[in-house]
Chains A and B, each alone.
Chain A
Amino acid sequence: MVARVHVPASVKRGAVFEVRINIQHPMETGFRYDNSGRPIPKNVINSLVARYNGVEIFRAELGSGIAANPYVQFYAIAEASGEIEFSWVDDAGQRGSERASVAVAG
């Protein structure tokens, strides 16, 4: 699964910064049918966790009400330079992860 995490390259210590993630995933609702009329099973990313230097800062339980290629944006506080790491899992049990580094100045 391809994903992109976006954080500012550098932030001041103590400042609030934006974290964005976009994951390539169909977020199948389970309500659709394929060309031969068979129902396409539900398969959505049901859990998404963000850790900042190993400490969980954000967690989301997603459902079929989230659009395909899920996009989530939230905020974090700059404490120390390091990494924001996301990991997620879908209904089919497939896991994914992606990270981005942030440099904290001052």
Chain B
Amino acid sequence: MKAPLRRRFISVLAAMTAMAALPWVRAARAQSDPFAALVLQVTGGAPVRAGRVTVDTPRLADNGHSVLLKVSVECAMTAADYVRSITLLSGRNPRPIMATFHLGPKAGRAEVTTRVRLNGTQRVLAIARLADGTYWSGDAEVEVTESACLDAT
């Protein structure tokens, strides 16, 4: 007898989850990373580690014209340990470098909030450069129902 539809659906879902966890699938995804060239441009080839940076956006944005975005970095913000800069990169905008914020030990908290334009559903990447010269990154996936770059005639 055939398994009930729901059970089959669950097994397909489980298989998909398992696939995503496979290392070779991950590697393939990394190769088609739209950020690779951009990150190189921002860091000048220095290694970027994932972590310490959190990008907060609504998971679903009705409209790409104005999406609230908060980026925060795990950093004590003391005279010796602070965030030098944060760069926001878009995975799909015609001009992918959206903004660079320069902070310093006087910034109080390693957190910046702004509103961005997003040309459709995409991944947004933030790269933080700390005082010790290391680069850290964090990202967020935003689903945009109506893109910001529709031809406004």
Contact = CB atoms under 8 A, between A and B. Distances in A.
Contacts of B9: none
Interface of A: 16-17, 27, 29, 31-33, 35, 52, 55-68, 70-77
Contact of A75 (B95, B111, B149, B151): B111
B153 interface: yes
B93 A65 contact: yes
B109 interface: yes
Contacts of B106: 52, 55, 57, 76-77
B117 interface: yes
A73 B103 CA distance: 12
Contacts of A64: 93-95, 117
The DSSP consensus for interface residues of chain A is: strand
Contacts of A35: 153
Contacts of A68: 65-66
Given A60-B100, A70-B115, A74-B111, 16 more contacts: A29-B95, A29-B117, A31-B149, A33-B152, A58-B104, A59-B102, A60-B99, A63-B95, A63-B97, A65-B98, A65-B116, A67-B114, A73-B114, A76-B107, A76-B108, A77-B106
Contacts, number: 103
A16 to B, nearest CB: 4
A58 B117 contact: no
A57 B115 contact: no
A55 B104 CA distance: 11
A35 B99 CA distance: 30
A29 B99 contact: no
Interface in B34-78: 65-67
A66 B114 contact: yes
